Amino acid sequence: MSVKRENSNENVESSKRHQTIQAGNSDQVIAKLISLIPGKEQSIDLMGNAVVTVGRSRHCDVVLKEVDISTIHCQLYTIQVDLDRERRKLINIVDKSRNGTFINGNRLIKRDYLLKNGDRIVFGKSTSFLFKYTENSDEIEGNANSSNNDGVFKKPQMAASSSQTSLRKKLKPRPTSVFDKYLLERELGSGHYATVKEGINKKTGEVVAVKIFHPQQNDDQKKSNQFREETNILMRVHHPNIVKMLDSFVEPVSKSQIQKYLVLEKINDGELFDRIVKKVCLRQNETQALFKQILEGIKHLHSQNIIHRDIKPENILLNITRRQSPNEMQLGPWDQDEIDVQVKIADFGLAKFTGEIQFTNTLCGTPSYVAPEVLLKSDYSSKVDMWSAGVLLYVCLCGFPPFSDSLGPPSMREQILQGKFAFYSPYWDEIDDSVLHLISNLLVVNASERFSVVETMNHPWFRNADYETIPMEPERLQISQEKIPKTYSELSKI
Ligand SMILES: Nc1ncnc2c1ncn2[C@@H]1O[C@H](COP(=O)(O)OP(=O)(O)OP(=O)(O)O)[C@@H](O)[C@H]1O
């Protein structure tokens, strides 16, 4: 390993301003440590392919003289990660210190961390650097044209010819990272598969939601590619009742793990689930107004051959326009303080990337919204969304689910497979027959006989044309109080 020092300041061994450290035999600068401390401004170039040591010892590659710096404070390893048929060089920092190495305010404590563009590294108490990868730090191996050109990552461009560029190695710009484009801020929520944070587009200032999936093994290139291809399709979906997908990224977090990110339109007023919990159940006219929008969203997805597969109240998000003055006119049958409520369907088309559909949702013991054919793992169509919509409609109107072990025997699974459900008295007594008719045509085991989204939208319930058009008089069943499933509202208090 050769070490070349050209610049420094009083805290770094030599006396010039700019320091270049060459570790290994690479002819490429892959990253820079930039000191922004007034009077101590300097930039340290990190060369590829080896270990760079940082510490007080004069044998270190980067010598820092502060008293709180350990003899060997940390090591920077260049590692190569294969992602999308290209090899990326990244730097892993390993803490070895007594007083700590901090990344963006978090102490590493003898741990390692894969450095990202824009990370702020503090060695000891105050020796602070900004970390940046250089633009041309990735090598394309094999056919450059085989790299993805999906618009998520910048298209490969050949670097200007230089005497140092070998014929075998071509340089391309580093793919844009989510951290290059967005500032990640407070957490908005978390689920089984991901944490969602508020993000700010650094260029436009747009406030977005960034869904950060839990890290996964980087052992299936096909899956990563599929994720990118699918999200490209989903990014083309534009509808007022569907959460807009703005960007997607797949990034390495260590040599063997990757992390997927989705940048989404930010929705401000939480989930339909919380509205049901708060109110126990929803008024009929309110449910109608929400469902008209939910169905518009589902219709759009189905028209694009996209099946949501995970319709449930946690995935129906709301944007509420609140009343500013008493004279403002309401735009629907909303609560007193609300002018309008806009429905936004979230998490569409992604179920295949999160594995098996969940059999329970947030509250332990509450039932699944999945259709019988999904439970049986047999062929399914867009009609699975209509079954889930039927469960959701039932839950909105009475506050508890149509399928539940408490209603058994048989088990909840068997109830779903047999389509065994009922409308119980007194909970359904005051609710229009026509919506009972609609639900009965959604919770149909045979998918080909189940209502489609268009049939649902054309149902008389939405036109309040009840009596003359409904052929049946649905039955309200008497049941003992103990058998009635707990409402979401009751479950949330347990
Ligand atoms: N676009 C968004 N805008 C604002 N908040 C959001 C957005 N998307 C998700 N959230 C919030 O983040 C939380 C977790 O998101 P999400 O439910 O998508 O994660 P998940 O792991 O896929 O969930 P699940 O466990 O339901 O499958 C939710 O509480 C949701 O309210």
| pLDDT tens for each residue of 251-294 | 888 778 889 999 999 999 999 999 999 999 999 999 999 999 99
Over pLDDT 70: what percentage of the chain? 80
Q: Is 209's C-beta closer than 6 angstroms to any atom of ligand 1?
A: yes
Q: Which atom of ligand 1 is nearest to the CA of 267?
A: 3
352 pLDDT band (50/70/90 cuts)?
A: low
Q: Would you state the pLDDT for residue 89?
A: 84
Q: Is the pLDDT of residue 391 over 90?
A: yes
Smallest CA-to-CA distance from 351 within 367, 365, 369 is with: 369
Span 178-265 CATH architecture: 2-Layer Sandwich (3.30)
CA-to-CA dists, residue 227 to 315, 335, 479, angstroms? 20, 40, 47
For residues 142 and 94, which has the higher predicted lDDT (pLDDT)? 94
Q: Would you state the pLDDT for residue 493?
A: 80
Reported ipTM? 0.96
Q: Is the pLDDT of residue 148 over 80?
A: no
Q: Measure 263 CA to ligand 1 centroid, in angstroms.
A: 12
Q: What is the CATH number of domain 272-492?
A: 1.10.510.10
Q: Is 27 left (phi over 0), alpha (psi -120 to 50) or beta?
A: alpha
Q: Is the pLDDT of residue 226 over 80?
A: no
The residues pairing with 140 across neighbouring beta strands, listed in sequence order, are 170
For residues 126 and 5, which has the higher predicted lDDT (pLDDT)? 126
Q: Would you state the pLDDT for residue 162?
A: 40
For the stretch 406-441, pLDDT in tens is: 898 999 999 999 999 999 999 999 999 999 999 999
Token pair for 275: 């509205």
Q: Would you state the pLDDT for residue 347?
A: 86
The closest residue, in CA terms, to atom 9 on ligand 1 is 196
Site to probe by mutation for ligand 1, drawn from 190, 192, 193, 196 as the one with most ligand atoms within 8 Å of Cβ, is 196
Q: Is the pLDDT of residue 15 over 50?
A: no
For the stretch 113-137, pLDDT in tens is: 999 888 999 999 989 999 998 876 5
Q: Which of 96-100, 353-357, 453-457 has the lowest mean pLDDT?
A: 353-357
Q: Is the pLDDT of residue 166 over 60?
A: no
Cα distance between residue 209 and residue 247, in whole Å: 11
Q: Would you state the pLDDT for residue 141?
A: 41
Delimiting residues of CATH 3.30.200.20 domain(s) in the chain: 178-265
How far is Cα of residue 167 from the mean position of the Cα atoms in its chain? 40
494 pLDDT band (50/70/90 cuts)?
A: confident
49 pLDDT band (50/70/90 cuts)?
A: low
Task: Determine the Cα angle at 326 with ends 323 and 329, to 5°.
Answer: 70
Q: Would you state the pLDDT for residue 6?
A: 36
For residues 111 and 125, which has the higher predicted lDDT (pLDDT)? 125
172 pLDDT band (50/70/90 cuts)?
A: low
For the stretch 304-343, pLDDT in tens is: 888 998 899 999 999 999 999 989 999 999 999 999 999 9
Q: Measure 189 CA to ligand 1 centroid, in angstroms.
A: 6
Q: Is 267's C-beta closer than 6 angstroms to any atom of ligand 1?
A: yes
Smallest CA-to-CA distance from 211 within 236, 232, 230, 184 is with: 184
Q: Is 194's C-beta closer than 6 angstroms to any atom of ligand 1?
A: yes
For residues 150 and 83, which has the higher predicted lDDT (pLDDT)? 83
Q: Is the pLDDT of residue 351 over 60?
A: no
Q: Is 363's C-beta closer than 6 angstroms to any atom of ligand 1?
A: no
Cα distance between residue 431 and residue 448, in whole Å: 27
- What would the DSSP string read from start to end of 76-88? EEEEEEEETTEEE
**Cα dihedral 405, 410, 412, 413 in deg (nearest 10):** 150
For the stretch 472-482, pLDDT in tens is: 788 999 988 88
Q: Is the pLDDT of residue 466 over 90?
A: no
Q: Would you state the pLDDT for residue 255?
A: 75
List residues forming the annotated binding site for ATP.
Answer: 211
For the stretch 58-91, pLDDT in tens is: 999 888 989 999 999 999 998 887 776 677 888 9
Q: Using CB atoms within 10 A of its CB, is residue 247 exposed (0-12), middle (13-18) or buried (19+)?
A: buried
Cα distance between residue 433 and residue 431, in whole Å: 7
3-state helix, strand, coil in the chain (%, to 5): 25, 25, 50
CATH 3.40.640.10 for domain 13-134 = no
DSSP E strands: which ranges in 336-466? 338-345, 423-424
Delimiting residues of CATH 1.10.510.10 domain(s) in the chain: 272-492
Q: Measure 431 CA to ligand 1 centroid, in angstroms.
A: 31
Delimiting residues of CATH 2.60.200.20 domain(s) in the chain: 13-134
Q: Would you state the pLDDT for residue 8?
A: 38
Q: Would you state the pLDDT for residue 22?
A: 55
Annotation marks residue 310 as catalytic:
yes
The whole-chain average pLDDT of the chain stands at 82
